[in-house]
Amino acid sequence: MITANHTNDVCPLETLVNMPVPIALYPLNGKYTTWDISGRSSPNGLARGVRLAPGPDGHPQGSYQFSGKSSSFIEFPNTGALTAKESITLLAWVYVKSRSGPIFNYNPLGWGVSLWVNSKHYLSAKFVEDDEGCTTCFISALPLKANAWNYVGMSYDHNSGVAKLWVDGRVSSQRNIGTKISLSTSKSVRMGARATNDGNYFNGRISRMQVYDRALTQREVEAVSGPIEGEHLFLSSF
């Protein structure tokens, strides 16, 4: 199981050589703010009504705090670099306080692929097909820890059809939702609040948002949970 203290451990170099390469990597900290440092040229996030806060590694500016209001969000423009039509993995560290809301929601004015924390602190995934005509939703087997850091994520494998929710480096729940689905990931993304004033506004902190265009294995999910110090090794893959 991955815990917040795990982020203080710098992984040996040999474990990082075959690290998966993200299509977007947002540290969401004082050093990189809302910049994407994946090297894939994703536009930087636009922050509104958020502030820097302590992160999962204990750094005083290691995350962004969201206030649980409609005016508190980060928007990530999508010019194509964030699009993952076939397979996908989304991963982040979240510190849950209260209120439901989006961690990463494609299509802020409607519905696309999205990862949320619901009102009972369960992790929730929405897999939306590209034409928005078919949607599959399911939640984690157990609620997330309140007032504590949780390492969470969702994934979908285009070839096997298996969708998964990840909590602290382990599969919390999974479902076969069908193969060859074209995912709705072409529009911009909101974190913290959608643009619809729907009353669901995340209250808590988020750090180290990662986006991949393939379904990561458990070993890979565990491997990329670590600290920012090793992230220059991602860039060496290009």
3-class SS of residue 80: coil
Identify the DSSP state of 199: S
- Please state, in angstroms and rounded to a whole number, the distance separating the CA atoms of residues 87 and 215: 6
Q: Which residue has the higher pLDDT, 15 or 149?
A: 149
The two tokens of residue 160 are 């096997």
- Please state, in angstroms and rounded to a whole number, the distance separating the CA atoms of residues 21 and 140: 26
CA 168 and chain centroid, separation: 13
Reading phi first (left if > 0) and then psi (alpha if -120 to 50, else beta), residue 99 is in left
- Place 130 in a pLDDT band, splitting at 50, 70 and 90: confident
pLDDT, one tens digit per residue, over 71-103 is: 999 999 999 999 999 999 999 999 999 888 999
Least confident of 10-14, 134-138, 196-200: 10-14
pLDDT of residue 18: 75
pLDDT of residue 231: 42
Domain span including residue 210: 4-235
Place of tokens 């710098």: 10
Q: Under a CB-based contact definition with an 8 Å cutoff, are residues 144 and 94 in contact?
A: yes
- Place 201 in a pLDDT band, splitting at 50, 70 and 90: very high
Beta bridge partners of 164: 155, 174
pLDDT > 70: percent of the chain: 88
CATH (domain of 97) = 2.60.120.200
Q: Residue 27 pLDDT > 90, yes or no?
A: yes
Q: Which residue has the higher pLDDT, 232 or 63?
A: 63
Give mean pLDDT, residues 201-224: 97
Q: Residue 167 pLDDT > 80, yes or no?
A: yes
- Place 131 in a pLDDT band, splitting at 50, 70 and 90: low
Domain count, the chain: 1
